Chain A
Amino acid sequence: MVHLSSFLLKTYHGGHVVIRLALGGATNRPFYRIVAAYNKRARDSKYIEQLGSYDPLPNIHNEKLVAFNYERIKYWIACGAHTTKPVAKLLGLAGFFPLHPMTITEAERRQKAASIEEVKTDSQEQVEEAL
C-alpha cells in the first residue's frame, strides 16, 4: 500500500507530512532526531517514523554525527513529504540533495568576515610597529 500524503490526511485538511528535526537531549546539550511527522503536530510529540539523528555538538574526534535512513527518506519524499530548511541543508552537505544556497551564502559571509578580521589585525600590527 502506498502512503500517499493526501490519502493519509483525510481528516487533516491542509496538512502534510514533513521531515524535520525534533529536539531532545538535556539542558545545554541539544540532540535532534530526524523525523517524518505531520505538519501540525508539536515539534517533539508523536511522529510517524524516525529517519535518523543529528548531534550538533562535535565529539572527541571533532565530528558532528549525522545518521540518515536514505531508503525511508526516499519513500517519504515520494509520498509527498516536505523537508525543512535545516534538514535540506544537512542532506545537501551529505550529497543526497544538491547543496542548499544558504549553505554557500553562509560560507561566503564567514569568509568575508574572516578576511575583514585579518585586514583589521594586520593594520593594528602595523600601527603597533610604527609606534
Chain B
Amino acid sequence: MLFTTSPSIPCGSLKGGSSIHSRSDIIYSMAASSFTRCLVRSYFCVKCVDHVQTRLQTTTRMFCVSASRSSFVDAPKAQFTDTEVQDILTKITGLDLKKVFRPIRQQLTPPKYKLVTDTELEEAVRKAEEQAKHLLKMPPVLPERKPINDVLYEDQMLEGMDTAKYVFTDINFNVPHRERFIVVREPSGTLRKATWNERDRLIQVYFPKEGRKITPPPIFKEENLRVVFEQDRHEDVLNQCIVQFEPDSAEFKNVLMLTYEDIEKHGKYDLLRSTRFFGGLTWHLVNGRRIDGLLVDMLQRDLMQDAVRLVHLFNLVHPQSESAQQAQTQQATDLDLLKIYAQYESNRAGFIELAVQTCEQAKALSSF
C-alpha cells in the first residue's frame, strides 16, 4: 500500500467545434477521447493541456495524409514513416515519465492522494506509460507542399468591377479541410484558387482551432527565435509551431530546421530527449549525415543501446555509404556497428572507439 498523488488529467474529449476531417481520422480521435486517469508518482499536479489534445488530433490527422504521400519515393531508401524507422526513433526518444509529465504552466488544482495496493500502482504506472507514449507521438515529416497556381476563369470583361478581392469559402462541415473549395476573384476578373497561406488563414477564420492565431505570432521571426533559444526553451517554441502551422508548410519546416540547427550547434540534445520532437531531430541529423555530436552525447550518457540504434538507422537511410556496406558484408551487430561507423564515417573516431572499448570492458567485468 503506498501513498501517491493523483493528478487529474482530464483528456479532453472531442469538442463540439472541432471538425472531423476524414473517415479514418474519426477512429483515431475516438480512441484519443477515452478518459484515462493516470497515477504518477510525483509531487506536482499535472494537468493535460486541452490544446495538447487538439495537437494530438492534428498529428493523427496528418499521419493519415502522410501515409499516402510517402509512397512514391525511391524504394530502397528508408522513409520517415517506415515501421522500422519509427521503431528506432521511438526507442531512442526514451520514456522518462518524470519529464513527460512535468508541470506545464496551467491552472493548478490541489493534489489528490489515493491509497492503493501494489497491483493497482503497477496498473497505474502502466497506464501512465501508455499515456506518455500517446503524448510522445512524433509530428510527421512530410514533403513541402507545392504552391497552388490554378486559374479557373479569366474574364477580362469584369476588369475594374471592384477595388477589393472577393474570397469565397465553402463552409460545408463534412468536407475535409484539404479538399475545401476556396477561390478568389481578383479585381482584374480572374477566378483563381487560393494560395496555401490564404487557405490556412480562412480555414482558421471559419473553423477556428484552439491555440492557432490567424497571423503567425512574432516568436517565429529569426531574431526572436534566437532569444528564445538562448533561454533553452526549444520545446515551447516547437509546441507552438505545431499548433500554429500545418506540418507540410514552409514556415513549419523552417522553424523546425532552425531549432534543430541551434540544438546541434550547442549540443543541447538532452532538452528534447524524452519529448516528441526527438525523432524529428534525429531524422534531420541522419539525413544531413551529422550524427557525430548526437552519438558522442549518447556515449557520454552511457546510452549504448541508443547509440547502436542510431548507427543502425544511419545505415538504413544511407545504404550506399561505406559503413552501411561494411556492416552488410560483415553482418555486424551492436558494438561492432559502432566500430565500423567510427572507422569509416565519423570525424570523432577516437572518442567513439574509446567509448566502445570502455563499454566492452565494463561488460567483460560484469560477466565475471
Nearest Cβ on chain A to B184's Cβ, whole angstroms? 8
On chain A, the residues within 8 Å of B202 by CB distance are 65
On chain A, the residues within 8 Å of B153 by CB distance are 95
Some 17 contacts from A to B, beta carbons below 8 A apart, are A52-B171, A62-B163, A63-B164, A63-B167, A65-B169, A65-B205, A66-B167, A66-B169, A68-B168, A68-B169, A70-B181, A72-B172, A90-B168, A93-B168, A94-B185, A103-B161, A107-B157
On chain A, the residues within 8 Å of B152 by CB distance are 95
In the A-B complex, list the 3 residue pairs whose CB atoms are closest, starting with the nearest: A58-B164, A107-B161, A94-B168
CB within 8 Å of B: which A53-69 residues: 58, 61-69
CB within 8 Å of A: which B111-163 residues: 152-153, 155, 157-163
Would B164 and A64 count as touching, CB distance under 8 A?
Answer: yes
Would B160 and A110 count as touching, CB distance under 8 A?
Answer: yes
CB within 8 Å of B: which A80-111 residues: 90, 93-95, 99, 103-104, 106-108, 110-111
Nearest Cβ on chain A to B208's Cβ, whole angstroms? 13
Nearest Cβ on chain B to A101's Cβ, whole angstroms? 11
Number of A positions contacting B (CB below 8 A)? 27
Which residues of A does B touch, CB under 8 Å?
A: 52, 58, 61-72, 90, 93-95, 99, 103-104, 106-108, 110-111, 114
Would B159 and A64 count as touching, CB distance under 8 A?
Answer: no
On chain A, the residues within 8 Å of B174 by CB distance are 71
Interface: B334 (CB within 8 A)? no
How distant is the Cα of A66 from the Cα of B202 in the complex, in angstroms? Answer: 10
Besides A67-B206, A108-B157, 4 other A-B contacts (C-beta < 8 A): A63-B164, A64-B166, A67-B168, A93-B166
On chain A, the residues within 8 Å of B161 by CB distance are 103, 106-107, 110
